[in-house]
Each structure stands twice: as structure tokens, then as C-alpha cells.
Amino acid sequence: MAEAGAERRLPRVRGFAEWPGAGSPREEGKELRHRVPRDTHALLDVDDSRPDALGAVEESSRGRIPELTPIRVGRMAAAPFAFLRGSAGLMAHDLARTPMTGIRAQICGDAHAANFGLYADARGGLVIDLNDFDETVVGPWEWDLKRLAASLVLAGREAGADEDTCRSAAHDVAGAYRRTMRLLAKLPVLDAWNAIADEELVSHTDAHDLLGTLERVMEKARANTSGRFAAKSTEPAPDGGRRFLDAPPVLRRIPDAEAAAVAASLQDYLGTLSEDRLPLLARYAVQDVAFRIVGTGSVGTRSYVVLLLDHRGESLVLQVKEARPSALLPHLAAAGVEVPAAGHEGRRVVLGQKRMQVVSDILLGWTTVDGRDFQVRQFRNRKGSVDPAALAADQVDDYARMTGALLARAHSHSADPRLIAGYCGKNEELDEAIATFAVAYADRTEADHAELVAGVRAGRIAAEMGV
């Protein structure tokens, strides 16, 4: 028996912090300012090693379905903001040559302004968060913030906002990121970890002008379900079930062997889910599989929708989407970041998503089809999004503050918010630098977009517009 009043000594347990804590993460963050001054984040150094726009688009199309790449090019040629959405790899090349603190986080890798949105939690409630993780890796937190800021300048210009408003949006996204990281650093760890992105976030970020827009998007999202998609996109099958309609090029039926391979891959997918999800899916029968084209950055990759029906004939649709290596991978080494060992790309996407979101799709998993890696998720899970390029000029700033706060919360799951908050500080020095970078990169992207459009017009690269 221990003596009364004696200090109890417990063994050090790996995976837990020491008590009392060794050092101060906030002070470590402050020290980083001497090595990487915050104002240096304004720098953009485009060197001779940078590929031209056409070369970058062609390189990113390697391994995609050849007949679909003109659709991808056409979507990227629509506007500079669309070009940015499809060129995460090109921007990673540029970001690898910018100042970095060395602080690593699980990053989205493609954190542009259109990759935030609404989706349903397990009980049907709507949350707002990052919602695309195809490029996710462990990397520099600055890359996500700079990509988001540059995208807001481009989206604002497309929306018709003046240049001061666009720059303010880039300034304010950095400011919201910085202030939210400081807030999370001060909270008890569990409270910060479980901070839900909901309507309170709008008040926290002073985004009140967005309320009407968000309410309209939420109303649409509540009706955006598998059942509604299936009602429009399927027809009665001869066996009494249902099958997908053929509606090319976006939705098309596929050969029986291809459909069978996708359906068979769901067996391995089940093994990636938590066991408590299995009784749920066991109550559905697989009915049909079709090919469906996905958004700008993913056009040309293999993506399927799988129709499931329950005993009442109600639909659940799963998306089986090809997971390619992150477009950021070739540029991590140039940035001094350790490149992860090759593994299942669907697993990378799913685990990265779970590390960044507070609430994730309960049916997220991964599988392999004919030797290719895929992620699996619910399709049309009450998803909704704001089109940042269609916002009113007085809403662009609000949207910037909201997304900046969301990005900070996502990064705080894998990087200590005290460390990043210590670096970012209280004043607006970082905000100003990020805004300067964002405007310069938006100008660079407009030049890239013009080069792509010229290449399309000259017949140097094929594009199918309006699809």
C-alpha cells in the first residue's frame, strides 16, 4: 500500500502526452517566425522549371479514360476559377517553391472555395465542412490556406466583385483561419476536437449576409437524396427491381462483365467498414451498376454508381470512385516533406477525410476493381454547396471567413492548434501576406487559363464544352 501523501508515479504510456507538458507549442510557433517571417508568405516565385498550362493539363490527364478527357479540358477552359479547380498538381509545383514553416497537418490538398459544402450526419442533420479529399496528404498547412485564398480571388472576380473586395476576401480567409486556430488553442482539447461546423459558425465568423444563401442551399440539400436521384435516373427492370437509365455522356450503362466486377468488389468494401455498419447494408440488395462522370478535377477517372434496394423498394445509391495517387505527391519531396510509402489510394482518401472532418459519412470505405483502387461512399447524401462564383459581391467576404474557419478546424485535428496559433499570432501580418500571394496567384491562373483557351482554339488540345 502506498504511503499516505506520497506522490504516485505511473509509467509513461506511449501515445499519450507527458504531464506536466514539456515545452510550449505556442512559444515554438512564435520561434518559427524568426526562421520563416510571416510577411514572406506573400512571395510567389515562378521559375523556369514550371510546366506550361497545356503541358500541365496533358500530364494530369495521363491514366484517365481518353474519350472523357476533352470534357475535363472543356470544363477547365470555362473560366479561370474552373482552371484552378482542375490544376491542383500545377499549383502544388508552385507552392513547393514558397516559404513553409515545417508544421505538418493532414491537408485537403485541393482546398479551393468550391470544395466546401453541406452533407448529412448519421441522423440526417446537416453539417458544413470540407467535402472533397481526392488529393489529401500530410503536408504543409500553408498550401491549403493559400489555395483557398487564391480561389476566392478568382471566384470573386467571376462573380463580378471589384478588386478590393476580392483582395479583402483573401485577407479575411486568412484572418478567420488565424482567429479560429487561436480560439481552438484556448479551448479544452475535447471541446476543440468536437467543434461542429454548424449554424453557430456563421455567427462566429460574422457571416450573417450568407444566412439567406445558406438557408436556400440547405433546403435543396435536404431533398438531395439517393431516393430522389434513383427516381429520376432508373426505370423498372424485367425482374421487378430497377435499373439505371442510359443517359450519356454523364450516366451510361456498362457491359455486364464490368458491372459484375464493380458489384463483386463490394465484398472487400464491407471489410473496410466498422462491423456495426454491416447489418445495415445486409438489408439491401444490389440491383444495378452504371458509370457516372464526376466533377471537374475527377473527370476521366472511373466512377460508378451502385443501386441498392431495401425490402420496400426504397433506394440507397453508393458511389464507387477511382482513387488515384494524390497530385501533390511529386511535389512533396521538393518541399522537403517526407513522401509516404505507396499504399491503397482509396484508404488514403478515406482516412484523410476522417482525420479532417468532425462528422463523416458512416458508409465510407474502399475497395479494388480490376487492380485499380477505389473509394466508396454514399451518393447524394443530402449534399449541397454554395457556388462561390455566383455569390453577391457583399457575400464573398462572408464566405471567405466561414471557409477559413472550417479549414482551421480541419487542420487542428492533426496539427496542434497551439503551434499554428503561436506562429500566426494576433496581428494581421500573415493575413496581408496571404492576400498579396492570392492576388498574384489569381493573376498567374488567369494567364494559364488564357493559354489553355488559346490551345483549344488552335486545335492543340481537344475540348468538349458545356458538358
What's the confidence (pLDDT) of residue 2?
56
- In this structure, is residue 186 part of a structural domain? yes
In angstroms, the Cα distances linking 59 to 40, 69, 89, 294 are: 30, 11, 9, 19
As a three-state string, the secondary structure of 208-235 is HHHHHHHHHHHHHHHCCCHHHHHHHHEE
Cβ–Cβ under 8 Å, residues 114 and 138: no
Residue 95 to residue 335: CA distance in whole angstroms: 8
Specify the 3-state DSSP secondary structure of 356: helix
pLDDT at 100: 97
Question: Has residue 375 been placed in a domain?
Answer: no
C-alpha cell at 46: 515562378
Residue 354 lies in a domain: no
Give domain status of residue 182, yes or no: yes
Ramachandran angles phi, psi of 97, nearest 5°:
-110, 15
Integer Cα distance of 132 and 196 in angstroms: 18
In this structure, what C-alpha cell is assigned to residue 258? Answer: 464490368
pLDDT band, residue 197 (cuts 50/70/90): low
- Could you give the percent of the chain with pLDDT greater than 70? 95
249 upstream amide cis, omega within 30 of 0: yes
Q: Residue 247: inside a domain, yes or no? A: no
- Over residues 309-317, the mean pLDDT reads 95
Taking the C-alpha atoms of residue 194 and residue 273, their distance in angstroms, rounded to an integer, is: 22
Q: Which of 1-10, 115-124, 284-293 has the lowest mean pLDDT?
A: 1-10
Which amino acid does the sequence have at 78? A
Q: What band does 201 get if pLDDT is binned at 50, 70 and 90?
A: low
pLDDT band at 204 (very low <50, low <70, confident <90, very high): low
**Domain count within the chain:** 1
| Cα separation, 84 vs 132, whole angstroms | 15
Residue 260 CA from chain centroid, whole number: 30
Query: Is the pLDDT at 296 greater than 70, yes or no?
Result: no
Residue 322, beta-bridge partner list: 374
Which grid coordinates are listed for 370? 480490376
pLDDT, residue 23, reads: 81
- Residue percentage of the chain with pLDDT more than 90: 72
Place of cell 495517387: 325
Alpha carbons 147 and 269: distance in angstroms, whole number:
32
pLDDT digits (tens, 9 = 90+) for 351-404: 999 999 988 999 999 999 999 999 999 998 888 888 999 999 989 999 999 899
> Is residue 391 left, alpha or beta, with left meaning phi > 0 and alpha meaning psi from -120 to 50?
beta
Mean pLDDT lowest among 93-102, 142-151, 396-405, 426-435: 396-405
* Beta-bridge partner residues of 253: 290
Instruction: Please tell me which residue, 212 or 67, carries the higher pLDDT value.
Output: 67
Q: Residue 334 carries which DSSP code? A: G
What digits encode the pLDDT tens for the residues 120-174?
888 888 888 999 999 999 999 999 999 999 999 999 999 999 999 999 999 999 9
Could you check whether the bond before residue 330 is cis, i.e. omega within 30 degrees of 0?
no
Query: 3-class SS at 303?
Result: strand
**What average pLDDT does range 34-61 have in this prediction?**
94
At 5 the pLDDT is: 64
Q: What are phi and psi of 194, to 5 degrees?
A: -95, 15
Whole-angstrom CA distances from 24 to 21, 34, 190, 414 are 8, 16, 19, 17
Residue 113 lies in a domain: yes
Reference 290, options 270, 322, 319; nearest CA is: 319
pLDDT of residue 325: 95
Q: Is the pLDDT of residue 200 over 60?
A: no
Q: Assign 335 a pLDDT band (cuts: 50, 70, 90).
A: confident
Return the pLDDT at 451.
Answer: 97
Please give the residue range of the domain that contains residue 408: 25-100+109-222+390-457
Q: Which residues pair with 317 in a beta bridge?
A: 307
Q: pLDDT band for position 313 (50/70/90)? A: very high
Q: Answer yes or no: are the C-beta atoms of 386 and 214 closer than 8 Å.
A: yes
The pLDDT score that the predictor gives to residue 409 is 93
Whether residue 348 contacts residue 136, with contact meaning beta carbons closer than 8 Å, is answered with yes
Instruction: Specify the pLDDT at position 384.
Output: 84
- Among 383, 211, 367, 217, smallest CA distance to 295 is for 383
What is the rounded average pLDDT of the residues 36-52? 94
Per-residue model confidence (pLDDT) at position 181: 93
One-letter-per-residue 3-state SS of 283-294: CCEEEEEEEECC
DSSP assignment of 109-168: S---TTSEEEEE-TTS-EEEEE---TT-EEEEHHHHHHHHHHHHHHHHHHHT--HHHHHH
Per-residue burial over 192-210, b if 16 or more Cβ lie within 10 Å, else e, is: beebebeeebbebbebebb
CB-CB neighbours of 13 under 10 Å: 8
Look over the chain and give the mean of its residue pLDDT values, rounded to a whole number: 92
Q: Which amino acid is at 298?
A: S
CB atoms within 10 A of CB 141: 27
Categorize the per-residue pLDDT at 81 as very low, low, confident or very high, splitting at 50, 70 and 90.
very high
Report the distance separating Cα 414 and Cα 412, nearest Å.
5
Q: Is residue 45 part of a domain?
A: yes
- Please state the rounded mean pLDDT for residues 337-356: 93
- Does residue 325 sit within a domain? no
Nearest to 200 by CA among 185, 211, 212: 211
Residue with more model confidence, 263 or 123: 263
